[in-house]
Structure 1
Amino acid sequence: MSALLSAPVDVFAALAAGLVGLAVGSFLNVVVWRVPRGLSVVRPASACPSCSTPISARDNVPVLSWLLLRGRCRSCAARISARYPLVELATAALFALTTTWAVRQDQLAVLPALLYLVAIGVALALIDLDVRRLPDAIVLPSYPVVGALLGLAALVEHDGGAFVRALVGGAALWLLYFALCVARPGGMGFGDVKLAGVLGAYLGYAGWSALLVGAFAAFVLGGVVGVALLASRRGGRRSALPFGPFMLTGAGLGIAAGASLAHWYLQVSGIVAA
């Protein structure tokens, strides 16, 4: 007990964020299933996809219910995909890691914005992998939400320059993806263009280095995976890869380590002294 009480603040913060992440992950499972089908994420209540029996509260506890039911519906015994608890666990882990980073970097003001990015990022990545789309129902409302959250963070930190960078970053990344979309029709969807504006705002807020690294990392990650698929003969030159997951991963990398990676690159290039 004494060891627990003496644990660092970031440990308690991470545990609390992880618990919230479990609940958010449970909701994201609903979002990932319903949004691409044009269904409400509020009503009706969650039900078994096989027998349509509404899921009771005791069977809707993140991860635990799936384990107790051994991955089957209580009513019809149909299998429930392991993806459901995995999404909940992944969201919890990302919430915990993001919160730990924010506490250690003294970035608590921007934490709500970052957790929002994690939530929509998980949903958008899975939907893009499933149906090759980034739904407007998630991306477009994110513009005012992100603007408000980043604006509030800038106000708390008395850092108007960060908010200006967010606006510039969002516009710059949107324009870059728009140019790529126009230059190569069919090579990139307009959903990627819309998402670029949201991610650019986050990256711009984090700094110019974060913006450059985050933008570049998406294409590097996409290229590496594409080459790996070609080498393993699991894809061809014309195989379509959903680019949203790479954009989101690149943005996360830029936010978390953009400044460090940019400095490392400049050192390796000999532009700055070690």
Structure 2
Amino acid sequence: MLTILFVAMAGLLIGSFLNVVIYRLPRGETVVFGRSYCPGCRRVLAWYDLIPLVSYIILRGRCRYCGGRISPRYPLVELTTGAVFAALFYRLGPGWVLVKYLFLACFLIAASFIDLEHYLIPDRLIFAGLLVGGGFLLSNREITIGSGFLGALSAAGLLWLLALASRGNVGGGDIKLAAVVGLFMGWPWGLGAVLGGLFLAGAAGAFLLALRVKGRKDPLPLAPFLSAGALVAFFWGPQILAWYAGLLGVG
């Protein structure tokens, strides 16, 4: 239990860094150098203003210097990262496979929140995902190289076909994101992640249409749903597949 708590706290710290990535990457800023600052007054923040969750609560969601509102996205990203880190450690235990999926989780969280805010997924983020995913595929034989490439091809190919059928309603960034997911998860779980994400996106879209929050032509960021589909496929994929096979009377 103490180890899981430690991993969750590490996730909170990583989530704080992901907030930097989410804010700076779409704006073309460096994510490696430069101290954190308030987006409103541009004042450089002290270390005690950057303690994950704690600083947000103490400051009541306001900048210490200008009083500007701090986006709730910051604690949400930190909490999400901490929770996912703890869940992955509980499922996998220590090892390189855990490191692989922790990186995938970070990649998906960053892509999801950037897409929610900007309706895009930066190519620099995609390149990092493909580079690290390829490295794990070559060095960590959790899945075969063939499985990784087939997972990437099938996941990206499905979205590419959907983009053609929908005449551009699926963006190129979503197709590249699917390729990264497939590269990490392999066959058939990469494809399963995309199918699950599309199902979740369809359900959410119908719900928002029913509430008249969005119209039929309004864009819907797909990255959060693909990310959720990846998590569902990772944690419950075999059970869902067995349940579906039972419905069909297979096996």
State the TM-score, normalizing by the size of structure 2: 0.93
Q: Distance in 1 between matches of 2:180 and 2:65?
A: 42
Aligned length: 251
Q: Which residue of 1 aligns with 2:206?
A: 227
Q: Does the 8 Å CA contact 1:17/1:99 hold for their aligned counterparts?
A: yes
Q: Paired residue for 1:118, among 105, 123, 126? A: 105
RMSD across aligned positions (CA)? 1.8
Q: Does the 8 Å CA contact 2:123/2:173 hold for their aligned counterparts?
A: yes
Moved over 3 A (4+): none
Q: Does the 8 Å CA contact 2:4/2:86 hold for their aligned counterparts?
A: yes
Q: Does the 8 Å CA contact 1:113/1:150 hold for their aligned counterparts?
A: no
Q: Does the 8 Å CA contact 1:229/1:235 hold for their aligned counterparts?
A: yes
Q: Does the 8 Å CA contact 1:51/1:76 hold for their aligned counterparts?
A: yes
Q: Does the 8 Å CA contact 1:211/1:258 hold for their aligned counterparts?
A: no
- Distance change >3 Å, CA 44–CA 183, structure 1 → 2: same
User: Cα deviations across residues 116-156 of structure 1 (Å, max 9, x unaligned)?
Assistant: 111111111111111110111101121110121243321xx
Does residue 85 of structure 2 align to residue 95 of structure 1? yes
SS in 1 for 2:52: coil
Q: Does the 8 Å CA contact 2:130/2:183 hold for their aligned counterparts?
A: no
1:270 corresponds to which letter in structure 2?
A: G
Cα offset, 1:189, TM superposition: 0.5
SS in 1 for 2:182: helix
Cα offset, 1:174, TM superposition: 1.9
Q: Distance in 2 between matches of 1:16 and 1:251?
A: 24
Q: Distance in 1 between matches of 2:241 and 2:23?
A: 38
1:115 corresponds to which letter in structure 2?
A: L
- Distance change >3 Å, CA 211–CA 119, structure 1 → 2: closer
Q: Does the 8 Å CA contact 1:28/1:123 hold for their aligned counterparts?
A: yes
Q: Distance in 2 between matches of 1:56 and 1:131?
A: 28
SS in 2 for 1:143: helix
Q: Distance in 2 between matches of 1:79 and 1:215?
A: 36
Does residue 125 of structure 2 align to residue 135 of structure 1? no
Q: Report which of the two structures shows the higher radius of gyration computed on alpha carbons.
A: 1
> Which ranges in structure 2 are unaligned for 5 or more consecutive residues?
none
Q: Distance in 1 between matches of 2:242 and 2:211?
A: 34
Q: Paired residue for 2:139, among 138, 147, 152? A: 152
